[in-house]
């Protein structure tokens, strides 16, 4: 289990950037392997589909991560990110949190949406793929 006592918000951002980059690689390798790279770069529909699959994988990964499923970690990560407290209401759904896990999910999700440019990570990944070809 991850020790969160010395973890900072910057550490959480760095960890999630790495995780998202791995998700991008996995989606490109296994779900979009037959698509020409030019299709992903130039065709709006292909890029949109690519981003949608990545966003779904991020939500799935977030839903099962130890900082969400374990109450102690959920409380600590929520305190580190500090967007919402357990008695707050999530802006996205308008619902009150029922647990630290719900709160942690919302904190991490909003941190990803507000602090990490998924589009930039995708562009960086695809640019590296172009340079390697």
Domain map (residue ranges) of the chain: 9-132
Q: Using only the alpha carbons of the chain, give its radius of gyration.
A: 16
pLDDT band at residue 67 using 50, 70 and 90 as cut-offs: very high
Give the total residue count for the chain: 133
Strand partners, 96: 89
Query: What is residue 43's predicted lDDT score, i.e. its pLDDT?
Result: 72
User: Does 127 score more than 70 pLDDT?
Assistant: yes
List CB contacts of 73: < 8 A, sequence separation 6 or more. Answer: 1, 2, 4, 66, 67, 104
Query: What is residue 98's predicted lDDT score, i.e. its pLDDT?
Result: 95
Half-sphere exposure of 39 (CA within 13 A, CB side): 10
**Mean pLDDT of the 108-118 span:** 94
User: Does 105 score more than 70 pLDDT?
Assistant: yes
pTM of the model: 0.87
pLDDT band at residue 97 using 50, 70 and 90 as cut-offs: very high
pLDDT band at residue 38 using 50, 70 and 90 as cut-offs: low
d(CA 11, CA 80): 10
Phi-psi region of 82 (alpha: psi -120 to 50; beta: other; left: phi over 0): left
pLDDT band at residue 133 using 50, 70 and 90 as cut-offs: low
Query: What is residue 129's predicted lDDT score, i.e. its pLDDT?
Result: 80
Give the burial class of 98: count Cβ atoms within 10 A of its Cβ; 0-12 exposed, 13-18 middle, 19 or more buried. exposed
């Amino acid at each position: 289990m991850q020790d969160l006592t010395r973890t900072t918000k910057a550490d959480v951002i760095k960890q999630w950037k790495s995780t998202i980059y791995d998700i991008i690689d996995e989606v490109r390798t296994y779900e979009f392997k037959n698509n020409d790279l030019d299709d992903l770069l130039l065709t709006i529909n292909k890029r949109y589909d690519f981003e949608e699959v990545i966003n779904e994988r991020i939500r799935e990964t977030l839903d099962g991560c130890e900082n969400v499923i374990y109450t102690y970690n959920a409380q600590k990560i929520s305190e580190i990110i500090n967007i919402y407290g357990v008695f707050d209401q999530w802006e996205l759904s308008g619902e009150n949190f029922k647990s630290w896990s719900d709160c942690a999910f919302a904190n991490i999700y909003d941190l990803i949406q507000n602090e990490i440019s998924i589009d930039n990570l995708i562009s960086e990944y695809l640019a590296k793929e172009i340079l390697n070809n």
